[in-house]
Structure formats: C-alpha cells, structure tokens
Chains A and B, each alone.
Chain A
Amino acid sequence: MDKVIEVKDVKTVFGTRVVHDGLNLCVNRGEIYGLLGPSGCGKTTLLREIVMLQEFHGGSIKILGDELNGISHSKAQKLRREWGVLFQAGALFSSLTIAQNIALPLVEYSDLSQKMINEIVEFKINLVGLKSADANLYPSQISGGMKKKSGLARALAMDPKLLFLDEPTSGLDPISARDFDSLILKLRDLLGLTIVMVSHDLQSIYDTLDRIAIIDNKKIAFEGTLDEVASAKSEFIQTFFSDLK
C-alpha cells in the first residue's frame, strides 16, 4: 500500500511547552485514519501542521509525496487543491450563501461555466444530505449540523484525494452523528478518499476508522487497527479506551 501521509520525528514547541517530540505516523491510501488522545495532547495541532496552517519545529511531514519543509509556493498551492478540510465549526464564509461557499473553489480554480458549476454544487449538496432548498441560506441561518454538512460539501467540491476532518461529529445529536459516519463511509467507497480525522466520539471511532493513532506524552503511544488496540498491553491505552467507554 502506498503512503499518502508520512510524519517523521515531528517536534512542536509553543513557547516553552513541548507539544510533540519525535512523533511518527503514516497514513495509507484509501483508509480512514483516526487521531485520538486525551484533550490537549496536540491532535488538532498535528492536523494543522499537516495542512500547512502551522509550522513545526523539527522532523518532516510528507504528503502525497511532497515534503512540506521548504515547499515551493506553486507546489503548496497544487497540494491545497488535492485535499479538503472540514473545520470543527464548519468555517463557512459568512458573507456567502451555502451554494456560493461550495462553488467558491470551482469558481476560483476552474473555467467551468456557471451552469456546470451550479450542477456540481447541486450534486454535492445532495451528496452530503442537505436539501437543495437550503442552498441559498447564509451560514448564520442554518444549524450546526447543517454547517458541518455544508463544510463537508465545500471540502469535497474539488473532488480531493484526501479529506481532513476535525471532530466531525462533535456537537451533533446521536442520530445526525451516525448519519455523518455512514456518509463518511459512503464517500470513501464512492470517491476512493483517504480520510484523516480527529475524533472523541467512541461510536464513530468504532464505526468508521480503519486505523488509529493515539497521541500521548508528546509521542504516538499506539498506531494500528482497532482490533490490535484491544490486545495492546499498554496500561495507558487500556485506560484511555475504558475511559472513552
């Protein structure tokens, strides 16, 4: 299996606080990979480093074969079109409607006609389980769950190979959360996505993830499948999972 993301010996320091020290992990093509760990262990920070929002202070991160250290502007731009990111609260552009939000990457990066773009937007809106009637609402007029779905639709607008989700089910009611999980599984099968997500939702972890990495004490405490976790000897991992339960 080829590796989509390779993180090697990454070190992160905030002021005097060391967040990661010698962190390693790799994500294979086509899998749903989860970053887990106690609050404040730096899951979201790692995710932000992978999507080039934050600098790391040592080691290397390789995405789709490109090394992020000293990456050129054009390569970085190319990389950014190959992934989609869903932020915790959706991060929709508040001055644009949902449809305009989803259309934005298409308008900016492609030379498609407005008609074609509208069709793509309609497809994505329905794909993530929103109604076409909601398309012309502004982000301030819709619920948290709808914001997440719209954010996902926007992340999928350019048909990315890689999808990053930051706590996709947090703040959703259990039914919407399960819907979201099945949506993610469906998307992976339909579009052949590789998905990396940060999650605290145990049900969602068991339902969707192929492999997980548990971050603790600045390092990866465990990396592997969920079945392997059950047999892992480490006391921390066992308490972490029993805590989650």
Chain B
Amino acid sequence: MNNYALSISFIDNKLLLKFSGELSLYSITTLQKQLNTQNILKIKDIQIDLEEVCFIDTATAIFINNLLIKYEKLDIKVSVNLNSKDIKDTLELVKNQKLHSDKLPSPDKESFLYSVGKYIYIYYISLLSFLNFLGNLFTTKIYYLKSIKNIRFKEIAFEINESGVKALPIISLTSFLIGLVVAYQSSYQLKIYGANIFLVDMLGISILRELAPLITAIVIAGRSGSAFTAQIGAMKITEELDAMRTMGFDPYIFLVMPRILALMLVMPILIFVADMMGVLGGMLVASLDLQITPTLFIDRFNEVVAPKHFFIGILKGPFFAFLIATIGIYRGLMVKNDTQSIGFNTTKSVVESIFAVIICDAIFSIVFTNLGI
C-alpha cells in the first residue's frame, strides 16, 4: 500500500508535481502533508504529472480534482500530464459528478429553546396517542362485551398459561424470599424489645396489603409486560398487524383484549400465591429465630390480621394488571419500522409500567386510608 510517491521540483519557475505508483485513499493524507509544506503563493505555473501513476481510485481523484480547483481559484496555470485512459476517465467522472451534485446539507443546528420545545411536543404527542389508544380500547371493549361470541376464550386461556401459570415459580420464590428477609430483619429489632410476637402483625399486614401485590406486579411487568411489547412490536415490523387489519381482524380484539383480560384474571390469583409464600417465609424465620411455632403464628395471625388487608391486596391485582398490560401493548403498537425501536419500547414499557404500578399503589394507599379501611 505504500508504493506511491510524490516528488516536488522546480523547473524554471514552474512547479512540477510528479506523482507515481498506486494512488489510493491511504495515500491522500501523506500527499496532503507533503503539498502543504510547499509555498505556492508566488508560483504562477504548476504542472501535475500523472504519467507514472499506475492506478488511481476515486478518493484520490477527488483529491486531485480539488487541487485543480484550488489552483485555478488562485489564478495559477495548471496543466495535467497523463497517458493512461483509465486515470483520465476516473478524473473526468469525478469532475463531472462534482458539477452535477449538490452539497450535502449540513445538519440543522438546534437552539436550546427549540430542542426543549421539541421534547415537550413529543411528550405531548405521545400522551395524546396513549389517550387515543385508551379510547380505542374502550370502544373495542363495548363492542367486545356486546356478545359472548366475541370473547376469544382460546387466546385468553393461552395468555393465562403464558403469563400466569408459567410465572408461578418465580413469583413464589421471590415473595418467599421477601417474606424471609423482611421477617429476618425485623426479628432482630423486635427481639430487643422482647416484642417477638408482633412480628406476625407486621408481616401479615405488610405482606398481604402491600408487598405481595407490588412484588407480583413488578415481576409480571418485567416478565409479561416486556413480552407483550416485544411480541406485538415484532408483529408490527413483519407487517403481521397490517395483514390482520386488511383481513378484517381487529388487532384490539385478537391481540389486545385477550392479553388484558387474561392478565386481569390471573393477577389476583398470583397475588394470593405470593401472599401465601411470603407468609410462609416469615413463618419459617419466626419459628427458627424467634421460637414462634407455626401453630402459635397462625393463631396470632387469625387474631390480629383482619381479612380486609387480604382483600385490599387482592383488589389491587386487576388494576395493576390493567396498567401493565395496556402499557406493554401500547408500547408494542408504538414500535416503528426499525429494530432499534423494539429495544427502546421494551425498556420504556417495563419502566413505565413499574412506575405506573407504584403511582397506582400510592393512590390506593391514600384513598383507603382516608376511607378508614
């Protein structure tokens, strides 16, 4: 790649640039440096000699063409010697192309205000499109519930299996560990006051009312929410959604409603399992660490934990499920025709649904407390 050379010499006030060898894009920088050392201001006549060049690529052709243009602008007389037809053709090609083509547009510079405005506008638009999605969902729901024939039991059953039954192990394990950890940490504090038995009160209320629903929702958001987004997003990229529409199969009825209904049905059951496993974890710690036997634990549990805590926890299920499923599906529908947007929307789907679940939980907390429940 290094078999090229440029010799610069003067022949009575005339600058002779003699190129030789193979000129490729790897040689340009060196040539450029060599030329820059030459002061050309006083020179009125330049001769470029390409007779000993055996090959020239388009990049060097552009380079030489630019040289010619530059010298012409400086009112220097330039002449080019060459004898190979290929080189001449390459130079001609570059020259003609340069005359015809437009300059690449420079990327628009955005002022700070402009980008802030753009950002806000994009958020505003995405809010509108989410409302549009909800509206669509609502009208579909009305249509959907008009006749029992419209309900797609097969798809719902499939989704219940996918996002409910198959999620049981991970939800059981997570909530068991959470129950264990919470019990373990608080037993240490409770022992100081000799208030061992109050562990049951604390565990019962916190797990049934808050922890189990939240843990379940977070696991489901990570597991099923992301799956919904990726599935529907991929279907959008492969035009499967368009195909469905042209065949008259409303994606809302075929894909959206079954997923939402399935998740809303299955979530309370998952929370119930999480309740049991969490309490089991607590019970284990209680009997090992605080010498509260399981019988005593259950007796105490019966006495102090009112059923309302359990029911509030279960009641949160369908609401969380609705949020997770709608956000997951909405994000899937927002996927554009490129693969990057699947990743982007899946991330957003999980983050937004966990955030929405926590906001929803906070609202529940305030409402129920004010209602005195």
Instruction: Show the binding face of A for B, using Cβ within 8 Å.
Output: 48, 51-53, 76-77, 80-81, 83, 85, 87-89, 91-94, 104-105, 108-109, 151, 164
Which residue, B234, B238, B242, B247, has most C-beta atoms of chain A within 10 A?
B247
For A104, what are the chain B residues with a Cβ–Cβ distance below 8 Å? 247, 249
State which residues 125-139 of B face A: CB under 8 Å: none
In the docked arrangement, what's the CA distance between A139 and B243, Å? 14
Q: Does B246 contact A (CB under 8 A)?
A: yes
When the two chains form the complex, which single residue of A88, A94, A108 contacts B240, counting CB atoms closer than 8 Å? Answer: A94
A selection of 24 A-B contacts at a CB cut-off of 8 Å is A51-B246, A52-B246, A76-B248, A80-B246, A80-B248, A81-B248, A85-B242, A85-B243, A87-B239, A87-B243, A89-B238, A91-B238, A91-B242, A92-B240, A93-B240, A93-B243, A93-B244, A94-B234, A94-B238, A94-B240, A104-B247, A104-B249, A105-B247, A164-B246
Contact B247 A53 (CB under 8 A): no
In the docked arrangement, what's the CA distance between A151 and B238, Å? 13
Contact A77 B248 (CB under 8 A): yes
State which residues 221-256 of B face A: CB under 8 Å: 234-235, 238-240, 242-249
Smallest beta-carbon distance A114→chain B, Å: 14
Q: Which of chain A's residues has its CB closest to B152's CB?
A: A108
Smallest beta-carbon distance A153→chain B, Å: 13
In the docked arrangement, what's the CA distance between A48 and B239, Å? 12
For A88, what are the chain B residues with a Cβ–Cβ distance below 8 Å? 239
In the docked arrangement, what's the CA distance between A193 and B349, Å? 44
The contact size tier of chain B is 10 to 19
Q: Which of chain A's residues has its CB closest to B244's CB?
A: A93
Smallest beta-carbon distance A95→chain B, Å: 9
Q: Which of chain A's residues has its CB closest to B254's CB?
A: A108
Smallest beta-carbon distance A89→chain B, Å: 7
In the docked arrangement, what's the CA distance between A52 and B238, Å? 18
Q: Which of chain B's residues has its CB closest to A51's CB?
A: B246
In the docked arrangement, what's the CA distance between A83 and B247, Å? 8
For B249, what are the chain A residues with a Cβ–Cβ distance below 8 Å? 104, 108
For A53, what are the chain B residues with a Cβ–Cβ distance below 8 Å? 242, 245-246
In the docked arrangement, what's the CA distance between A137 and B243, Å? 19
In the docked arrangement, what's the CA distance between A200 and B348, Å? 39
For A81, what are the chain B residues with a Cβ–Cβ distance below 8 Å? 248
Contact B246 A89 (CB under 8 A): no
For A89, what are the chain B residues with a Cβ–Cβ distance below 8 Å? 238-239
By Cβ-Cβ distance, the 5 closest A-B pairs, closest first, are A80-B248, A91-B239, A91-B243, A85-B246, A87-B239
Contact B242 A80 (CB under 8 A): no
In the docked arrangement, what's the CA distance between A105 and B243, Å? 11
For A80, what are the chain B residues with a Cβ–Cβ distance below 8 Å? 245-248
Smallest beta-carbon distance A120→chain B, Å: 15
In the docked arrangement, what's the CA distance between A89 and B235, Å? 12
In the docked arrangement, what's the CA distance between A123 and B271, Å? 50
In the docked arrangement, what's the CA distance between A88 and B242, Å? 11
In the docked arrangement, what's the CA distance between A140 and B244, Å? 18
In the docked arrangement, what's the CA distance between A53 and B244, Å? 10
- 8 additional A-B residue pairs with CB within 8 Å, beyond A83-B246, A89-B238, A89-B239: A80-B248, A91-B238, A91-B239, A91-B240, A94-B235, A104-B247, A109-B248, A151-B243
Q: Which of chain A's residues has its CB closest to B231's CB?
A: A95
Q: Which of chain B's residues has its CB closest to A151's CB?
A: B243
Smallest beta-carbon distance A109→chain B, Å: 8
Q: Which of chain B's residues has its CB closest to A48's CB?
A: B242
Q: Which of chain A's residues has its CB closest to B239's CB?
A: A91
Smallest beta-carbon distance B247→chain A, Å: 6
Which residue, B235, B242, B243, B249, has most C-beta atoms of chain A within 10 A?
B243
In the docked arrangement, what's the CA distance between A52 and B244, Å? 12
Smallest beta-carbon distance B128→chain A, Å: 16
In the docked arrangement, what's the CA distance between A77 and B246, Å? 9
Q: Which of chain A's residues has its CB closest to B249's CB?
A: A108
For B245, what are the chain A residues with a Cβ–Cβ distance below 8 Å? 52-53, 80
In the docked arrangement, what's the CA distance between A108 and B149, Å? 11
For A92, what are the chain B residues with a Cβ–Cβ distance below 8 Å? 240, 243
Smallest beta-carbon distance B104→chain A, Å: 18
Q: Which of chain A's residues has its CB closest to B248's CB?
A: A80
